[in-house]
Chains A and B, each alone.
Chain A
Amino acid sequence: MKSLELLSEYSNYLEEQKLEGKKIIAFMSHDSIPEELIDAAGFIPLRLIFAGNDDLMNASHDYLPPSTCSFAQSCIGYFARKPNLYKFLELVDYILLSNHCVSDICVSEIISDNFNVERLNLYVPYTRNESAIKYYKIELENLRKELENIIGHEIPDQKIKESIDKYNLFKKKLAEIEKLEISGSQKLEIFQKAILFGPKILNEIEKLIQKNREITSNDSQTESNNKKVIFTGCSIFLGDYLMDLIEESGGEIVFFNTWIGHNYISQIYSDKILNSTDDPIDLFLYRFKTNIYGDHSVPDSLDNEISYLETFINEYQKENGEKLAVINHVIKFCDHFSLFQSTLKERLQNKGIQVLNLERDYSRANRGQLSTRIEAFMEMI
């Protein structure tokens, strides 16, 4: 229900923006897209974060084989079907193709070729060594030029910097949400909304934080019996029923170690870094270089993720006396998370951490089985 409200609110927002003459750039990449540059150029960045279903996946099979990640399939499905609540996708002017994974390339290309959406490109290197950083700079400058060509004038550095400041402040606020004592589903709703609307909803987020702080300080703390878990792997996209299944099974997600969640929020600049340069491109490069938890890069993404999870779990245990378990969410056919799932589980289990590898697609038929597996896991921990 909440996602329906959110979608209709978002739809209204985009329509208003279009009336004001703004153009929309959609993208499905989960990382390394300089949304501040898009914002500074006067475009609306629209992240495709919508979960799929059977119908949407089927609609993609004219273009891609069914052995494609079901999120990617659904992205095509949305453009092919344009379901009622997603009519706003008709407002999309550009699709920004990136190579976060190869499905990102294929899907963006298909959307551009078949649904009358112009294409922009931003390829991201796979490592984060010195040459890779220099290469990323070439791509960023190229994107900047492409955007400048569309708007017909330069995007001043100052404007990009302002946008970076704006998003930075916004992410800092979101980081506070991470620490609030609210349910996992509430956090997720906020994160999803934040990813869609961006800093425009900063006030709303601030109020929410304030309100929740008051509630927490007035309430006498009641211990919940829910099983506390970390959620990692593929993000939970908007409209997915997975969060309901976890909470219905007695699980409580205390930390979203996913792109919609900590990966996005944690990409914050310190004031020192912000003030260290006048060139906003340098800041994008800094972010790219220090983004060691992104799932796009090689060769250490898995090691970094495992050591992060381990540290988080240990620290949480010290503070709260409770050992967190891990749900590793794998969207079927996801190149990034599927391949590593057994190693991730094995390595964390060797450290005494319980892990549920939850691999699934978006088909309705999956729901019962998923629910059973989550329930069994919750009973076990």
Chain B
Amino acid sequence: MSLFTDDVVTFKSVLRLAYNFLAGREYLKKKKFKDRRKLIAVALPFSDLVYSAGGVPVFPIRMEKFNINAYLAALNSATNLFGWDLTTKLLTFVRQFDVLKILDNVLDDVIHTINHKYNELYELGIENGISSDFCYGITSLTGMFISKGKNLDANINYTIRCSAWNKYSESIKKYVPKEIWVDIPPRDMGNAVELLSENIKAAIGELEEVTGNLVTDNSLNKQFRIGNQVKRFYKTILYEFSASDFYPCNPATFAEILALLGLSFQDYNSNAQRYLENISYLVKEMRKRIEKSIGMDVKGMPRIMITPVFGGWEPETHEILYRLGARTIYADWELLGMLEEINVSKNSDPIEEYAKYLLNAMMKGVGCDQEALTDSYIKTAKDLNVDGLVFNQVFGCHSISNCYSLLRKKIRKKLEIPTTVINFNKIGENVEQVKTRLGALVEMFR
């Protein structure tokens, strides 16, 4: 049973985010068949160009059919009829009758359904010949394309430092009708910005062909503005609320929200404007609750950053930490430089600004080597002022997960905060180790 069901019901913004994530399939069907829009797969937070071209970006797991329980189905009909405000009333109403059952189901849908699906798609990847030596993220993503790739119109790939990622991106071309590439130069040297701009232009040309729409400076800037606002709200949650002594909910729910943001940030749940409204509402809701002292006093609970989680992690982690009396912070996109804003000032060239944004993320966030990557860990841990760091070592990851020994040394030298490593292969496989390691870590704060 979940620890934080009671908090979820009052967070309608979270419900919206979760609902939009889970109900992607129906939404996307409508977009594809009724609105005749083109579905373009994205992974990692690289959806801006697709939006600018009038395509519908989709993180492909969202094309799956999730087991949405009766409660969410009711929510869906109610929202269709009355909008979200009344739905909150509905929730409150329903809650009086059968609180635990319904709310537990909600939580199961949001968290466990997604994870269950992840594992299912991971298995599909393995069944189709992906060696189990590859990271969970790549394997389950491959499963996603095997499962639903044929419904896509295209897929957009960005080359990054991780060679497994680049090769995976090449490998999925057999499942999608068209692949569009943005080759990011490995380092910001010479006129790399200009060269990347050329590559972005070429990708835009291909997107235009797929969608039949013209990409203009205006359409780019419009999308970048939306993205920038989303990033600002995201940062508010990370920097302001996560550092506060009073949380608008219990810390496990808070971590849950961060996890949901992490997942949905990749495609903005296929509707950037709606996503912006949701996240802005989320920030308002959090602030209001804190002002009214609704939530939980978390003073004295150490704040632990767990990273990287975007390639897969054990979702029990934040519940375990909560039981141990600690708070969990998931901040991968900040760490990888993806929450930086894109300059949209007057007279700026949007393509060039986007190129600068990407190169900055590659140089300072992802880093062109382990030195730069570990520096970005240290910087983010410092900026977020976390009390401890848990390194999630993903089996088969040769790019990020193998920097732990260097990172540990740096943390000792530069941060002096407790740190530990947990190993991840597949959801549910290593919960005991996670419990033991986290238990030992939290002991260090006593």
Q: Which chain B residues lie closer than 8 Å to A101 at the CB level?
A: 163, 398
A94–B131 alpha-carbon span in the complex (Å): 35
A125–B186 alpha-carbon span in the complex (Å): 6
A289 interface residue per 8 A CB criterion:
no
A127–B179 alpha-carbon span in the complex (Å): 14
B398 touches A299 (CB 8 A): no
From B129, B170, B190, B196, give the contact of A138 (CB < 8 A).
Answer: B190
A142 touches B189 (CB 8 A): yes
A296–B166 alpha-carbon span in the complex (Å): 9
- Find the B residue at minimum CB distance from A132: B183
A45–B395 alpha-carbon span in the complex (Å): 34
Q: Which chain B residues lie closer than 8 Å to A105 at the CB level?
A: 161, 368-370
A338-353 Cβ-contact flags toward B at 8 Å (1 or 0)? 1111110010000000
Residue of B134, B195, B396, B399 ringed by the most chain A CB atoms within 10 A? B195
B167 interface residue per 8 A CB criterion:
yes
B162-188 Cβ-contact flags toward A at 8 Å (1 or 0)? 111011111101100001010101110
B402 interface residue per 8 A CB criterion:
yes
A132–B166 alpha-carbon span in the complex (Å): 15
B405 touches A129 (CB 8 A): no
Q: Which residues of A from 57 to 116 have beta carbons under 8 Å from B? A: 62-65, 67-69, 97, 99-103, 105-106, 109-110, 113
A298 interface residue per 8 A CB criterion:
yes
A335–B195 alpha-carbon span in the complex (Å): 26
Q: Which chain B residues lie closer than 8 Å to A301 at the CB level?
A: 167, 170
B198 interface residue per 8 A CB criterion:
yes
B399 touches A298 (CB 8 A): no
B192 interface residue per 8 A CB criterion:
yes
B327 to chain A, nearest CB (A): 28
A122 to chain B, nearest CB (A): 10
Interface residue tally for chain A (C-beta within 8 Å): 52
B134 touches A339 (CB 8 A): yes
Q: Which chain B residues lie closer than 8 Å to A139 at the CB level?
A: 187, 189
Q: Which chain A residues lie closer than 8 Å to B159 at the CB level?
A: 125-127, 298
B170 touches A102 (CB 8 A): no
Q: Which chain A residues lie closer than 8 Å to B167 at the CB level?
A: 298, 301, 335-336, 339-340
- Find the A residue at minimum CB distance from B168: A339
Q: Which chain B residues lie closer than 8 Å to A336 at the CB level?
A: 163, 167
Q: Which chain A residues lie closer than 8 Å to B393 at the CB level?
A: 65
B381-397 Cβ-contact flags toward A at 8 Å (1 or 0)? 00000000000010111
A135 touches B185 (CB 8 A): yes
Q: With A99-B186, A105-B369, A106-B370 in contact, do A340 and B171 touch (Cβ < 8 Å)? A: yes
From B134, B179, B192, B398, give the contact of A106 (CB < 8 A).
Answer: B398
A103–B168 alpha-carbon span in the complex (Å): 16
A109 touches B192 (CB 8 A): no
A130 interface residue per 8 A CB criterion:
yes
B366 to chain A, nearest CB (A): 11
A277–B424 alpha-carbon span in the complex (Å): 53
A341–B134 alpha-carbon span in the complex (Å): 12
B121 to chain A, nearest CB (A): 16
A298 touches B166 (CB 8 A): yes
A346 touches B129 (CB 8 A): yes
Q: With A125-B183, A335-B164, A359-B131 in contact, do A298 and B369 touch (Cβ < 8 Å)? A: no
B65 to chain A, nearest CB (A): 27
Q: Which residues of B from 55 to 96 have beta carbons under 8 Å from A? A: none
Q: With A335-B164, A339-B131 in contact, do A129 and B199 touch (Cβ < 8 Å)? A: yes
B347 interface residue per 8 A CB criterion:
no
Q: With A131-B198, A339-B131 in contact, do A138 and B398 touch (Cβ < 8 Å)? A: no
A123 interface residue per 8 A CB criterion:
yes
Q: Which chain B residues lie closer than 8 Å to A127 at the CB level?
A: 159, 181, 183
A175 to chain B, nearest CB (A): 28
Closest 3 CB pairs of A and B: A342-B129, A123-B186, A138-B190
A-B contact pairs, 10 of them (CB 8 A): A62-B405, A103-B398, A125-B159, A125-B186, A131-B198, A135-B195, A332-B133, A338-B131, A341-B131, A342-B128
Chain A residues at the B interface, C-beta cutoff of 8 Å: 62-65, 67-69, 97, 99-103, 105-106, 109-110, 113, 121, 123-127, 129-132, 134-135, 138-139, 141-142, 296, 298-302, 332-333, 335-336, 338-343, 346, 359
Chain B residues at the A interface, C-beta cutoff of 8 Å: 128-131, 133-134, 138, 157, 159, 161-164, 166-171, 173-174, 179, 181, 183, 185-187, 189-192, 195-196, 198-199, 202, 368-371, 393, 395-399, 401-406
Given A129-B199, A299-B170, A302-B171; 16 other pairs, CB 8 A cutoff: A64-B402, A65-B401, A65-B402, A67-B133, A68-B398, A103-B163, A106-B402, A109-B369, A121-B187, A125-B159, A127-B181, A139-B187, A298-B181, A338-B133, A339-B168, A340-B167
